[in-house]
Each structure stands twice: as C-alpha cells, then as structure tokens.
Chains A and B, each alone.
Chain A
C-alpha cells in the first residue's frame, strides 16, 4: 500500500532527556492512523517534528515520497492538543487569517469558510469574538480552520476533548468523511473506544520508543489468545461445572445474560480448535452463548505497556 508519510529512525533529545529514540513509522495513504502512548511518551514531539515545529536530531521524514520541505505545511492540517484562538479577534477574521497563513487566497478562504460554516450550522458566529463563544463552539471553529485548506495529511491530537457527545459524534463523522474524500489522518488520543471505532492502523510509543505498530486487525489477531466466552444450560449443573473446570483453563466470564446458566471464559491450548470446544460443550448441555474473545485496543495498550 502506498505510504503518505514515512519517518525513518527519528531521534530527538532535549538536553539530557531523550524524547524520541530511533522511531520509524509508516502511514498508509487514506488510512486513519492511531498514534498511541501514555502521557509523556513522545507523541507530541513526534507530531511537532512532522509539522516542522521541532527539528529532529537525526532521522528523516518523507511526505508523499519527498523529503519534508518547509512548504509542506500547506499540505498538513494540525489540531494540537494545546490549542486556542485569539480571544479578542472576531471569528471570521481569525479564520481568514489562519487560512491565509496556510496559503489560501482570501477569496478561496471565504468560499470554503462559508461552506463549512453552513455545514456545521455556525454561520451566525462570523462577527462574534472568540471570548463570547463557549469552549465547544470555539473547538468547532478550530476544527474548521484545521481542515479548511484541504490538506492531504490531517493530524488531530485529542480532537474530541472539550466536545459534548453529540458534537464529538459530529466531528467523528466529519473526520471519517474527510478520510473517504482522500485525506490521511493521524490521530493521537487516549480514548481507546475511538481508536477502536476509527483507526485502521496504530503505532504505540512508550518511553520514547516505538514498541508496536501495524494494522489494527493484524495486531488483534496476533494478540488473541484462543480464548472463548461460553454460556451453557446443563441439567446436571454441578457435575458439568466440575468437569469443565477440570478439563480447561477457566476464568470467570464477563458477559451478561438473562438465563440461569453456567458461564466461563475458556482459554484453549494451541492445538485445540474452537470446533473441538463446541462439540465438547454441546455434548454436556444446551450451548446458547459462544463468542471468541478479541482483545480490545485498550487491552492491547495496557498489556503492551505493562510488558515493557
């Protein structure tokens, strides 16, 4: 798959502190790429290097196959975690100013702003000052400003913070639509449920090192442990219970049910298939719940961090 952004062996130190250590990342074109990691892992430093706010000590970054140029900022839209707008400036003027800094002409900027303001139903805010708006309203403006110049690479650092669930959903849909229209998105967040929902690829940075990356599905496959959750209605419950506990590696199940039944989380050994388990269970009683446990992004995150 074609890569939009490639970072090779990027390192960066601040004094004695090593913020990034030999990090290499490839972001496929048209994907939503989750950049994950605990606080202080070096995500923001990496994003700032892509935005040429900070220069790497060593390593190189390529955008669309070319080494990163100063002019490339026009092709990148960046919504930083620490964000804000000029409080005493009017919404419209401010958006025009920021759009022009990204290389749009005034006329272009006006047309596109009109489109976006109509789309998000915020047309009436044009002459308001930022300080008159609520935080969520200001965030909407900020989002529009980030995507206005139609960049091929969008970088969102915690894009949903400060939004209520309705607006967070609205923004989520807009991001997905931008991806469908051809943009590539790098997405840095702590909210694992949005990673689950949106990201195709992820990279995990921990203590300045990249410790995991790849397609989310592949990673999940690699992390699944042949574990199943089952629900079973058996007539001789005590006996069956003892037999199952005897035969398998069992732990308490987490799913909820309305039936009075035996519930297990069963980890199968490598050589046993799901079919073997199903035929065993059906011989013991009525099987009415059988699901493979797929690790969530959250599980993978916690497990990987703890193992490092």
Chain B
C-alpha cells in the first residue's frame, strides 16, 4: 500500500473510532430533533392558551365585530365607566381592555381607541383588534359616502401573472424560492463543513505536534503527503458523519412524530410562509408549479458544480486550517490566525443571503463569485438562477489556481512549522518561514 492511502486510512479510522466523534454523530441529530420538537411543542402550547379581552365600546358601533375565536375570548362590557372597566379587567386578570370612546365622526377614532393591558400587548393581538375596528369603520365610511362595499369587492380584479421565460418555459414565483432553497442549502452546507472539519484537521495537526510524533512520521513520508492524507482522511470521516446525521435525523424525526405525535412541520419557517403567500390557488397549483420548477432547474449543472466548488472550496480552506495547526503549539494560540479565515467565510454567507437573493446577477454578486475565498459559497447560490457556463468555469479555474497557491503556502508553513516547538508563531515569523 502506498503512503498516501496508508495515511488516509489511519486518519479516517482514527477519527471515526474517536469517542467524541461517535458521541457527536449520535447526539447531534438527537439534540436537533429534540430542540425542534420542543419548539414545535411549545408553540402549540402557546397557541393553546386562551386570552380574554374585555371590550368597552361607548360608540356602540363595533360590538358585533368581536366574535370569540379559538384563542381569543371577548367579554363585552356595557354600562360601565372606563375606570370601572379597567378595575374589572385587572381583577379578572384579563389579557387587556379595549376602549372605544363615543365619537362625533369616524375620523376621530384613529387616535382615540385605546388598549389597556398589564404589559405591552403582543403585536398579533393588537393587529387583530385594529383590523376588526378598521374593517368596520371603513365599511361605515363607504356607506356614508353612498358607496356599496360589496359592489367594490365584486368589481375588483386580481392579477396573477403567468410567468414564462423568453424560451417559452413556464416559471412561477415559487421558482425563485426553490432556487434560493437549493443555493442557500448548498452554500450553507459548504460553510458548515469547512468550519467543522477544518477545525478537526487543525486539531489533528496540533495533536501530532504536541505528541511529538511528527518528526518520526516525516522521516518516512514527505510532509505534503501527510498534509494531503490528513485533509482527505478527515474529509472522508466528515462525509461519513454527515451521511450518518442525515439518516439518523430521518429516523429520529420519524420516531418522534409517531411516538409523541408532535408534528415538526407545524413550525412554520419564514420561507414556508413566503411560499404560501406567493402562490394563489390550491395546493394542486403549488405542486404543479413545484414540479415545473424542479424540471426547470439546471440540475445536472447544479450537481456537477456543487461537487467541484465544494471540493475546491473545502480544500482551499482545509489547507489553511492545516497550516495554522502547524504554526502553533496549542489550540489556544490559534485565535489570532482564525480571524483571516473566518472573515471571508462569513462574508460569503452574508453576500450570499443578502445580495444574491436581492439580485443574483448584480455586480456585487458577480464579483464575489469570482473571488476564490468567497466564490464557492456565492457561486453555489447563484447557479440555480442560471449562470453562464463560461462564468462558472472561470470561477472554478480561479478557485483551483488559488488552491494550488494555498497548498504551496500551507505546505511551506507546515514543513517548517511542525518542527518548531516553543516558538510563539507570529505573522512576521511565519512570513520568514516561507523563505526557509
């Protein structure tokens, strides 16, 4: 067996057999599913509580607007003074008291309606109360002006534009969300992968330094082989862990939903809400659009480029992590070198989630999808929106060229750094190593 595969095998087996690795592999999905279910359960619990709101309507116009709903009960007070009403509401521990004074004209209402409560009331409650009054007040005003509210409703036209590309492909709003989902997931996955397993590589380099085995090893193999073997072995362990997580997450969430009857999907993410809002019409329409959009996605392009950018981006950062590990004596010394690595990573996530969403092909998005330290994340998020192949290839070429550069750089630091003990590494010192 040649050296590289020996090293990869050792790194892989050593990682996978490590106790904390095994514990993390099993515990993380449990924690994730657990927290998710807890949130779902708590928000259900939250919705279950019934709030009572007392209403003192001196104008007498809005009483019929306040019908009891599932989670809100209205208690209509009549023939009491405001001060009395407050006292009643407080003693009965009502959620709040809505006071509508007697007014000359409806216009005055906008300023004079008051809501009293123990603490400031929740936005949701305020909105529903305001909506109720507004609806009625508007209807009354229209009536005063001699306009029939029902008639207006009838005359209203809703536009639901059909979307089609110039090439005649049907698209829809759901498509943008889907693309964001794909791109975001890919970018975020890479980001997480780099941080988790980059750190793991760094620790494993430090371990070899602190255990002093490094000199024994590199008297048998070239440092660059050790570096590559370490990166590849750790990555394989990472992929194993990721796969385990996916499978375990599936199993756990299935078990949890069936045992505790908690449905994690009841927790609505903002994206899902957007999705619901963006599509008029029934679920059938959604499904139809979804299928169309998935067919429209450049799936083959996406998968292939995902692999390339993922590998390129990961290797780029992994080699930097390894050189940090080589430069320091212990994990506590790594802080000062971590920042330059984390900054572009975090930047790429920000650019991805703000700029690319706004305008996938704008100047900023384009520029960041060429800069090698941000391109893996940003380009992965852009590709679902359709990026010309030449741009993708150009970006990849820049990425891999930089990768070769960083590996050279990392190997230099690594070769010198692993044999340096007790010397506190600084940027200046490391710069000097490059010339050794």
Q: Indicate with 1 or 0, residue by residue over B207-230, a CB within 8 angstroms of chain A CB atoms.
A: 110011101111111100000000
Number of B interface residues in the complex (CB < 8 A): 25
**With an 8 A cutoff between CB atoms, is B14 at the interface?**
yes
Q: Which of B388-436 contact A (CB under 8 A)?
A: 419, 421, 432, 435-436
Closest to B418 in A: A53
Contacts of A100 in B (CB 8 A): 1, 6
Q: Which of B7, B213, B221 has the most CB of A within 10 A?
A: B213
Q: Indicate with 1 or 0, residue by residue over B193-212, a CB within 8 angstroms of chain A CB atoms.
A: 00000000000000110011
The complex places the Cα of A100 from the Cα of B9 at a distance, in Å, of: 12
Q: A14-B436, A15-B436, A101-B3 are in contact. Are A85 and B220 (CB under 8 A)?
A: no
Contacts of A52 in B (CB 8 A): 219
Q: Which of A88, A97, A101, A145 has the most CB of B within 10 A?
A: A101
| Contact of B211 with A86 in the complex, beta carbons under 8 Å | yes
| Contact of A70 with B432 in the complex, beta carbons under 8 Å | no
| Contact of A80 with B211 in the complex, beta carbons under 8 Å | no
| Contact of B436 with A80 in the complex, beta carbons under 8 Å | no
Q: How far is the CB of B3 from chain A (nearest CB, A)?
A: 6
Q: A15-B432, A15-B436, A101-B3 are in contact. Are A84 and B211 (CB under 8 A)?
A: yes
Contacts of A225 in B (CB 8 A): none
The complex places the Cα of A251 from the Cα of B42 at a distance, in Å, of: 96
The complex places the Cα of A25 from the Cα of B1 at a distance, in Å, of: 35
The complex places the Cα of A157 from the Cα of B216 at a distance, in Å, of: 12
Q: How far is the CB of A52 from chain B (nearest CB, A)?
A: 8
Q: Which of A28-72 contact B (CB under 8 A)?
A: 48, 51-53, 70
Q: How far is the CB of A182 from chain B (nearest CB, A)?
A: 21
Q: Indicate with 1 or 0, residue by residue over A94-115, a CB within 8 angstroms of chain B CB atoms.
A: 0001101110000000000000
**With an 8 A cutoff between CB atoms, is B10 at the interface?**
yes
| Contact of B215 with A15 in the complex, beta carbons under 8 Å | no
| Contact of B436 with A82 in the complex, beta carbons under 8 Å | no
Contacts of A89 in B (CB 8 A): 14
The complex places the Cα of A78 from the Cα of B216 at a distance, in Å, of: 7
**With an 8 A cutoff between CB atoms, is A87 at the interface?**
yes
Q: A15-B435, A88-B14, A89-B14 are in contact. Are A80 and B222 (CB under 8 A)?
A: no
The complex places the Cα of A97 from the Cα of B233 at a distance, in Å, of: 15
Contacts of B421 in A (CB 8 A): 82
Contacts of A256 in B (CB 8 A): none
**With an 8 A cutoff between CB atoms, is B18 at the interface?**
yes
The complex places the Cα of A98 from the Cα of B436 at a distance, in Å, of: 28
Contacts of A78 in B (CB 8 A): 215-216, 219
Contacts of A53 in B (CB 8 A): 215, 218-219, 419
The complex places the Cα of A97 from the Cα of B207 at a distance, in Å, of: 17
Contacts of A80 in B (CB 8 A): 215-216, 219
| Contact of B211 with A97 in the complex, beta carbons under 8 Å | no
| Contact of B212 with A83 in the complex, beta carbons under 8 Å | yes
**With an 8 A cutoff between CB atoms, is A234 at the interface?**
no
Closest to B14 in A: A89
| Contact of A87 with B211 in the complex, beta carbons under 8 Å | yes
Chain B interface residues (CB < 8 Å from chain A) = 1, 3, 6-7, 10, 14, 18, 207-208, 211-213, 215-222, 419, 421, 432, 435-436
Chain A interface residues (CB < 8 Å from chain B) = 14-15, 48, 51-53, 70, 73, 76, 78, 80, 82-89, 97-98, 100-102, 142, 145
Additional pairs, 8, CB under 8 Å, beyond known A86-B211, A98-B217 = A15-B432, A73-B220, A78-B215, A84-B216, A98-B220, A101-B3, A101-B217, A142-B216
